[in-house]
Every structure is written in C-alpha cells, then in structure tokens.
Structure 1
Amino acid sequence: MDKLTNYRHLITKILTEYQELSSKTPNPSGIDSVLALDEKRDQYLWMQTGWHDDEKIRGISVYIRIKNQKIYIEEDWTEEGIATELLREGVPKEDIVLAFHDPETRKYTDFAVA
C-alpha cells in the first residue's frame, strides 16, 4: 500500500472509531455526530450538528486534510490527540503537521512545520 493510500486508510479508521465511540455516549436529543470522509479531495471531518431547544448546535471535533504528502491536523478537540493515534499507527512525526498552530509556533513542536 502506498503512503497516501495508507494515510487515507488510517485517518478513516481512527475517525470512524472515534465517531462510533461518541455515538454510544448520550447526547442531548437532536444532536447528531457526523463523519464526512472525502478521499478524492483528502478532507476528513468529524463534527456534531443539530438543535437543542431553540439553539443551533454545530461544532467540529476533528478536521484533517492531506496536503503535499503530509497529514495536516487543522482542528482536534479529542482528549489524547489525533497525532498521538497516528504515531501509534506508525506515521512519522515529519509527516504530521499540527496546523491548528500558527507556522511560527509549529517549529517548536516535534512535528512537521509544513
């Protein structure tokens, strides 16, 4: 399996596991956990959306994209962090970009800058 195919598979696997775990936890009625996996454009999104009382609820838990052969974690509100999961699966740190940090701050992490 080539690198990009492997990365797509790992991201899909990890986000599916998170979404399935989340769906087992009671949410306020009317709130759905949504998983959107677009391998053609290399965009991966796990979010919550719906209505609670008269309030529209929407929130991104994880947003990942693949760009320039690297995994860009744009948003991550998981407890351990998607980067940790990717490292466990054998993705090297130099192929993971913590894109929720600005480019200046990224150079102080153990991960790729871009």
Structure 2
Amino acid sequence: MPREQFQNLTEPMYYILISLIKERCGVDIMAEVEVISKGRVKVGPGTLYALLGRFEKENMIRETEVVGRKRSYIITEKGFEILQDEYKRLNTLVEDGKSFLGGDMDDI
C-alpha cells in the first residue's frame, strides 16, 4: 500500500495549515507561523510557496484572492481534516512518551 503523501506533516507544514484557518497572504502566513511557534519555526519564501503549491494541488488549501502579485489562501475541509489527524497523532506520541519521559530525567 503506498504511503499517503501527507500522513505525517513537517513542522512548517503543520504551522502553515494552522495559520490558514484564517485567510492570509504569503507574508502574513510567514509572520503567523513565527507567532504561533513562538519564534521556533521560521518559514522562508521558497519553502512557503513550494508547500502552498503542494497543498493547493492536493486541495488542502484554496486560493481566495489575487491582487497583483499578492495571493491569499485559506484551508479547505480536506486540509482541516489532515491538520486534525496530525494534531491527534502528535498528542498520541506525547501520551505514549509520558510514562517513559514524564518523570525525572535524572533517573534515566
């Protein structure tokens, strides 16, 4: 069985999709990713526009407006479902690790 392309999201993918719960243009997406991740994740234009193209091709986002060179996007129902699945997957990883890593790390 072939692996589904967006079965596991990278951090930039995850944060870009979260930022697109609200309609945003590219510059605003980059800024919002930094805010949501508290500065831990920064997405450059090359990465951003490559991922936006992939997301749009897979109907995970849709373009909502074009004004000159400025393009705005929003997440689709399919994209939101993929985002929710990733959120659940990440929570499962955390829960699974709690019994092994949740205590005092000096005991390891």
- Calculate the TM-score normalised by the size of structure 2: 0.25
Whichever of the two has the greater Rg, that structure is 2
Bigger RCO (CA 8 Å, 6+ sep): 2
The structure richer in strand per residue is: 1
